[in-house]
Amino acid sequence: MKFGVIVFPGSNCDYDCYYAIKSIVGEQVDFIWHKEEILNDYDCLILPGGFSYGDYLRTGAIARFSPIMSGIEQFARKGGSVMGICNGFQILLEMNLLPGAMRKNQNLSFICRYVYLRVENTHLTYTGLCRVGQILKIPIAHFEGNYYADEKTLKGFQEYGGIVFRYCDKEGRVAEESNPNGSVEAIAGICNPAGNVLGMMPHPERCCESLLGSPDGRIIFESIVANFQKRTMGRKR
């Protein structure tokens, strides 16, 4: 399986993604500079965290016009797996590949700490190895992660399982106290109706080993790989 990690000026989690894919799950991975215009045969594209273009104007607002973006849009519209983490999620929102927008955190602070997530949708490429209600300990690091979507969008999420991760406490309870940034419905990650585009604020690539505080991010990458293997085996038969 071959991953591509898109690199923008200001990306800073690109190496973490590269490391998680190459050294932890042992798959092929390339860095793709945002000025490239052609995407080769990738099976999954990752938009990493960071501060693309210094977060000027709005987070992700300028990155979405990079030359590579039309290729990513086509890849996603054809059903290709695209995952945006943190700033990558913000870029997917600006591109309208995912609905909604980010506001500044409710407490107006940059929050960098471990949080607990509850997995709400396990029918995706990214969560296939998870149990419904599984609790993952994964860190967040953002200023603008206070997710907003209108009523209609939230209703749509209910219909197709658009909410993938919610902030919760250690026991998996979703409450105001366990919502770090004020996101509506404690949303930490969402997908599109087709389920091939995922955006999440927490950083699974930063926690794939106990040595780094938690191994819980690993299941996301392992799910992607397991899903790919299942699909390609089906194709061979």
Partner 1 sequence: MVRNFQIQINISLKKGVADPQGATIKHALESLGYPGVEKVRMGKYLQMEMQAEDPRQVEKQLKDMCQKLLVNPVIEEYTYQIRMS
Rule CB under 8 A: say whether 61 interacts with partner 1: yes
Query: Site for partner 1 (CB under 8 A): how many residues?
Result: 21
Task: From the candidates 120, 205, 207, 208, give the one annotated as an active-site residue.
Answer: 205
Q: Closest CB to partner 1 among 62 and 141?
A: 62
Binders of partner 1 among residues 160 to 199 (CB under 8 A) are 182
Q: Is 211 exposed, middle or buried (0-12, 13-18, 19+ CB in 10 A)?
A: exposed
The single residue of 44, 86, 130, 208 carrying the catalytic annotation is 86
CA distance 44 to 51: 22
Q: Identify whether 205 is a catalytic site residue.
A: yes
User: Residue 125 carries which DSSP code?
Assistant: T
**Strands in the chain per DSSP E:** 2-7, 28-33, 44-47, 81-85, 101-103, 111-119, 135-142, 146-148, 163-168, 187-191, 197-200
156 binds partner 1 (CB under 8 A): no
Among 16, 43, 55, 94, binds partner 1 (CB under 8 A): 94
Window contacting partner 1 (CB under 8 A); options: 34-42, 54-62, 69-77, 207-215: 54-62
Nearer to partner 1, 28 or 107 (CB): 107
Nearer to partner 1, 99 or 217 (CB): 99
Phi-psi region of 28 (alpha: psi -120 to 50; beta: other; left: phi over 0): beta
Nearest alpha carbon to residue 41 among 93, 80, 13, 15: 80
- Lay out the site mask for partner 1 across 99-118 (x = CB under 8 A, - = otherwise): xxx-xxxxxx----------
Contact between 41 and 77 under an 8 Å Cβ cutoff? The reply is: no
Tell me if 105 sits within 8 A of 182, measured CB to CB.
yes
Report how far residue 35's alpha carbon sits from residue 174's, in angstroms, rounded to the nearest whole number. Answer: 41
Let me know if 203 is a catalytic residue.
yes
Give the nearer residue to partner 1 in terms of CB position, either 39 or 184. Answer: 184
Q: Which residues are catalytic?
A: 86, 203, 205
Residues that bind partner 1 (CB under 8 A): 57-58, 61-62, 65, 93-94, 99-101, 103-108, 146, 148-150, 182
